[in-house]
Amino acid sequence: MRVKVDLNVCQGHGVCHMSAPDVFELSPEDGHSIVIVDPVPSELEADARLGVESCPERAISAETGSG
Protein backbone atom coordinates (compact mmCIF):
# COMPACT_ATOMS: atom_id res chain seq x y z
CA MET A 1 0.00 0.00 0.00
CA ARG A 2 1.12 3.52 -0.78
CA VAL A 3 -0.45 6.66 0.63
CA LYS A 4 -0.25 10.15 -0.79
CA VAL A 5 -1.17 13.53 0.70
CA ASP A 6 -2.45 16.23 -1.64
CA LEU A 7 -0.79 19.29 -0.13
CA ASN A 8 -3.15 21.61 -2.00
CA VAL A 9 -6.01 20.09 -0.05
CA CYS A 10 -4.34 19.32 3.32
CA GLN A 11 -5.30 21.92 5.93
CA GLY A 12 -3.05 20.70 8.70
CA HIS A 13 -5.65 19.18 11.02
CA GLY A 14 -3.10 16.57 11.99
CA VAL A 15 -5.73 13.89 12.44
CA CYS A 16 -3.78 11.48 10.21
CA HIS A 17 -0.78 11.88 12.48
CA MET A 18 -3.00 11.18 15.49
CA SER A 19 -4.34 8.04 13.83
CA ALA A 20 -1.07 6.78 12.39
CA PRO A 21 1.97 8.49 13.90
CA ASP A 22 4.31 5.97 12.26
CA VAL A 23 2.95 6.76 8.80
CA PHE A 24 2.31 10.51 8.85
CA GLU A 25 4.53 13.25 10.27
CA LEU A 26 3.63 16.92 10.39
CA SER A 27 5.78 19.49 8.68
CA PRO A 28 7.62 21.72 11.17
CA GLU A 29 6.94 24.72 8.90
CA ASP A 30 3.23 24.60 8.21
CA GLY A 31 1.85 21.52 9.96
CA HIS A 32 1.00 19.83 6.68
CA SER A 33 1.12 16.06 6.62
CA ILE A 34 4.18 14.21 5.34
CA VAL A 35 4.17 10.50 4.55
CA ILE A 36 7.23 8.95 6.20
CA VAL A 37 6.88 5.36 4.98
CA ASP A 38 6.58 4.55 1.30
CA PRO A 39 5.42 1.92 0.63
CA VAL A 40 3.54 1.38 3.90
CA PRO A 41 4.70 -1.83 5.58
CA SER A 42 1.89 -4.34 6.01
CA GLU A 43 1.88 -4.02 9.81
CA LEU A 44 1.08 -0.31 9.46
CA GLU A 45 -1.57 -0.66 6.75
CA ALA A 46 -4.51 -0.59 9.16
CA ASP A 47 -3.15 2.58 10.80
CA ALA A 48 -2.53 4.16 7.40
CA ARG A 49 -6.07 3.31 6.32
CA LEU A 50 -7.41 4.98 9.46
CA GLY A 51 -5.32 8.03 8.58
CA VAL A 52 -6.84 8.13 5.10
CA GLU A 53 -10.38 7.71 6.44
CA SER A 54 -10.04 10.28 9.19
CA CYS A 55 -8.82 13.16 7.02
CA PRO A 56 -11.54 15.83 7.29
CA GLU A 57 -10.41 17.33 3.97
CA ARG A 58 -10.09 14.03 2.08
CA ALA A 59 -6.57 15.03 1.21
CA ILE A 60 -5.08 11.53 1.53
CA SER A 61 -5.40 8.76 -0.99
CA ALA A 62 -4.36 5.13 -0.71
CA GLU A 63 -3.25 2.84 -3.48
CA THR A 64 -3.22 -0.83 -2.79
CA GLY A 65 -1.37 -3.14 -5.07
CA SER A 66 1.83 -5.09 -5.35
CA GLY A 67 3.72 -2.35 -3.43
Kindly report each contact of residues 35-39 with a partner whose C-beta sits within 8 Å and lies 24 or more positions away, as own/partner: 35/3, 35/4, 35/5, 38/2, 38/3, 39/1, 39/2, 39/67
> Residue 42 has what DSSP assignment?
G
12 binds another protein (CB under 8 A): yes
Q: Which of 4, 12, 20, 18 is nearest to 57 (CA)?
A: 12
Choosing from 2, 14, 44, 45, the residue that interacts with another protein (CB under 8 A) is 14
Choosing from 26, 35, 48, 59, the residue that interacts with another protein (CB under 8 A) is 26
7 binds another protein (CB under 8 A): no
Scan residues 38-67 and list those touching another protein (CB under 8 A).
Answer: 49-50, 53-54, 56
Q: Which residues bind another protein (CB under 8 A)?
A: 11-15, 17-18, 21, 26-28, 31, 49-50, 53-54, 56
